[in-house]
Chains A and B, each alone.
Chain A
Amino acid sequence: MMSKAAPKFYDVDMPIRSFVTKRLIGVRSENSVQEAAEKMVEFKTGSLIVIEDDEVVGFLTDGDIKKKVVAEGLKPDMPVKEIMVEDLITADISTDIKEVLELMAEKNIQHVLIEEDDDIVGIVTFRDLIDIERQKLETYISRE
């Protein structure tokens, strides 16, 4: 017998598209680490996109600042360029959630930049993915 359609939890075969944060806060590569940290505080974000000549050239997390500057006893007046991660880890916006999770696990990262037609169009964090389950339940409840 067919049962009433129940919500499918953690539908990992779905493309990541619906879970992407489509706004990214950026910092210029020549800005200081301190300025970057201030931006993270102002916008309450754990990561920034690094921009040079209107192009994305790197990525910076609060972890990078802790590890590469504070813990090393360095001054935060150095440019962001010196501590940013240049090898961007990206996934296409149509990639399945499962593959994005695998990528995070494999590379031991919490943030993945999302691309569409070779442009960076958003970001997905591990936290966002944890929220999916709750979100699905909410959507289910809200419909008839």
Chain B
Amino acid sequence: MNILHISDTHIGNKSQFNEDSLKIALKEIGDKDIDILIHSGDITRDGNLKNYKKAREIFDKVEVPLIVIPGNHDKRSGGLSIFKDYFDSPDGVFESEEEIVIYVDSAVPDTDIGRVGMVKFDMIKEALAENSDKSVKIVVLHHHVVPVPKAGRERNVLSNAGDLLELFLKGDVDLVLSGHRHYPNVHRIENTVFVNAGTISDKKTRYGDINSYNLIQIKKDRLKVKTKRVDGSKKVKHFPRKDKRIFYHFGDKIFRIVHISNTFISSSTRFLHTHFFNALKNINSLDADLTIHCGGIVEEGINQNFELAKKYMEKFTTPIIYTPAGRDINYLGYELFSKYFGEMIQSYRDEKILFQGVSSAQYDSLEGYIGERQREKLFERLGDRKQSFKSVFLHHNILPIPHAREKGLLEDSGDFLREVVDQKIELVLTGTSSHPSAVKIGDTVVVNANSLSSVYQRSRYGNSFNVIDIYEKVIVVYEINSLWGTRKILGVWERNGFKKN
């Protein structure tokens, strides 16, 4: 299957709309044996009749099936009703014998934010269930699910991205196409490839980029994404359709990490005493090399909590390193944290292994932010390090977490994610949103920990922590229930450089 994916045409008057760029992209249809044209929204500049008329004129000349969804611009000043007249339903399912494309309008009129509400969520879910046997499954949304770089403070605009991500991964969706950011970007999470298109014909591009579009080829075993700029330059990424599923060759075990978060130690009833001490006993019996606490040590950064936390955390027999959450450094916490738990930025390293803490917490705020300078310095330093296994840990999420809204996401998660994936950092540990999660993005395994011992948690399995075993050839992540000690595997992945047994 060959797809031409364009986005953000922003058809309008000549001062902003570059029709020549669009023509270059559409010319691919005849040249490249394209099966389908997919437009991921923002067809028009202002969603008015004149824009839509012009758009219809252009797309009438296209001789392959066209899938198009409205973007936020298309819904300006009641534009959705014109969209329906000139194009089709804003949501729907396109089916062929082997393929299914589910397209969903994620724009909220007159705002920039994206949302997929319950009705549409169920529509996607049902379409995926009914078409489970299709060999290619594609979803189209205007807004992105996976954080994209250079998004500024906007981070992840789909507010229930975590639930959508889970739905797509569980349903084995092959490809998710989006636009909106006017900046091309490709990520692969597990077996799903997420493609963001740049703008094909808006003169207002971002970061000095020029207009671009994607050519996507899906074969039985491979998926290829070619991002083409209108000047003819291109970037190609190849992905396998399905990763290895059966693991029997592990090699020696190199290192065991216990990964905990949001202990919320305090004398209040919101701190679950029994959960904490059961987990502590269990952790001390696990023979781990290192425990990493991803923040939320205390419920609030006050002296009596820190005193208690110090007393409790000293009972762990493995070495522990910490990274603070916002609540650890509120009130007097900024001073108390260093007094009781040491540096704000901690790390562990030997000749083979490096765990580098990153400070994402903001004083008196739950928001997470790293900033360009800290990020640049961090990745420069990581690049210089010679260890064969590199990991970073921070409090905030860099991927959306199921059952949680986007609040826990790092503001600049898109940039951070791009860097860890490009540098092939093997493991990233996070600890907010209080729901466990473990996925592989590119060559990086990203693991989030649930709350160990706070009433505020979101998992149906209850409070928990993770154990991560690093073998020569694979990484295994378990989730262990704080209270009962029951264990389940969250994931097993081949390590970089050990792709072939």
Is the C-beta of B388 less than 8 angstroms from some C-beta in chain A? Answer: no
CA of A143 to CA of B476 in the docked complex: distance in angstroms? Answer: 30
CA of A122 to CA of B245 in the docked complex: distance in angstroms? Answer: 7
Q: Is the Cβ of A24 less than 8 Å from the Cβ of B160?
A: no
CA of A26 to CA of B403 in the docked complex: distance in angstroms? Answer: 32
Interface-centre pick from A17, A120, A121 (highest chain B CB count, 10 A): A17
> Given contacts A143-B118, A144-B118, is CB(A23)–CB(B170) below 8 Å?
no
Q: Residue on A with the closest CB to B488?
A: A44
> Which of A14, A43, A56, A131 contacts B476 (CB under 8 A)?
A43
Q: Is the Cβ of A43 less than 8 Å from the Cβ of B133?
A: no
CA of A15 to CA of B247 in the docked complex: distance in angstroms? Answer: 25
Q: Is the Cβ of A51 less than 8 Å from the Cβ of B245?
A: no
CA of A92 to CA of B133 in the docked complex: distance in angstroms? Answer: 9
B residues near A14, Cβ cutoff 8 Å? 129
Write the nearest CB–CB distance from B97 to chain A, whole angstroms.
Answer: 15
> Given contacts A5-B122, A17-B171, A121-B245, is CB(A44)–CB(B487) below 8 Å?
yes
> Given contacts A5-B122, A121-B242, A143-B163, is CB(A17)–CB(B247) below 8 Å?
no
Is the C-beta of A28 less than 8 angstroms from some C-beta in chain B? Answer: yes
A residues near B476, Cβ cutoff 8 Å? 43
Q: Is the Cβ of A51 less than 8 Å from the Cβ of B248?
A: yes
CA of A43 to CA of B501 in the docked complex: distance in angstroms? Answer: 20
Is the C-beta of A3 less than 8 angstroms from some C-beta in chain B? Answer: no
Q: What per-residue 1/0 map shows which CB atoms of A36-50 lie under 8 Å from chain B?
A: 000000011100010
Interface SS of A by simple majority: mixed
Q: Is the Cβ of B247 less than 8 Å from the Cβ of A26?
A: yes
Q: Is the Cβ of A18 less than 8 Å from the Cβ of B170?
A: yes
> Which of A25, A92, A120, A139 contacts B247 (CB under 8 A)?
A25
Is the C-beta of B65 less than 8 angstroms from some C-beta in chain A? Answer: no
Interface-centre pick from B129, B132, B476, B491 (highest chain A CB count, 10 A): B132
CA of A135 to CA of B403 in the docked complex: distance in angstroms? Answer: 11
B residues near A56, Cβ cutoff 8 Å? 246
| In the complex, chain A residues 84-111 whose Cβ is within 8 Å of any chain B Cβ | 92-94
Total count of chain B residues near the partner, CB < 8 A: 31
CA of A18 to CA of B129 in the docked complex: distance in angstroms? Answer: 9
CA of A129 to CA of B340 in the docked complex: distance in angstroms? Answer: 46
A residues near B286, Cβ cutoff 8 Å? none
Is the C-beta of A65 less than 8 angstroms from some C-beta in chain B? Answer: no
A residues near B117, Cβ cutoff 8 Å? 143-144
Q: Residue on A with the closest CB to B135?
A: A117
CA of A134 to CA of B460 in the docked complex: distance in angstroms? Answer: 7
CA of A125 to CA of B489 in the docked complex: distance in angstroms? Answer: 14
Q: Is the Cβ of A138 less than 8 Å from the Cβ of B247?
A: no
A residues near B489, Cβ cutoff 8 Å? 21, 23, 43-45
Q: Is the Cβ of A24 less than 8 Å from the Cβ of B132?
A: no
Is the C-beta of A67 less than 8 angstroms from some C-beta in chain B? Answer: no
Q: Is the Cβ of B402 less than 8 Å from the Cβ of A17?
A: no
> Given contacts A138-B460, A144-B160, is CB(A25)–CB(B248) below 8 Å?
yes
B residues near A22, Cβ cutoff 8 Å? 245
> Given contacts A22-B245, A51-B248, A94-B133, is CB(A138)–CB(B492) below 8 Å?
no
Write the nearest CB–CB distance from B138 to chain A, whole angstroms.
Answer: 16
Q: Is the Cβ of A23 less than 8 Å from the Cβ of B132?
A: no
Is the C-beta of B121 less than 8 angstroms from some C-beta in chain A? Answer: yes
CA of A14 to CA of B491 in the docked complex: distance in angstroms? Answer: 24
Is the C-beta of A112 less than 8 angstroms from some C-beta in chain B? Answer: no
CA of A144 to CA of B118 in the docked complex: distance in angstroms? Answer: 6
> Given contacts A134-B460, A138-B403, is CB(A25)–CB(B492) below 8 Å?
yes
Q: Is the Cβ of A51 less than 8 Å from the Cβ of B246?
A: yes
> Given contacts A17-B172, A18-B170, is CB(A44)–CB(B478) below 8 Å?
yes
**A interface residues (Cβ-Cβ under 8 A, vs B):** 5, 14-15, 17-18, 21-28, 43-45, 49, 51, 54, 56, 92-94, 117, 119-122, 131, 134-135, 137-139, 142-144
**6 interchain pairs (CB within 8 A)?**
A17-B170, A17-B171, A25-B248, A92-B133, A142-B402, A143-B160
Closest 10 CB pairs of A and B: A26-B248, A15-B132, A94-B132, A94-B133, A18-B170, A142-B403, A23-B492, A24-B246, A138-B460, A44-B487
**B interface residues (Cβ-Cβ under 8 A, vs A):** 117-118, 121-122, 129, 132-133, 135, 160, 163, 170-172, 242, 245-248, 402-404, 458, 460, 476, 478, 487-489, 491-492, 501
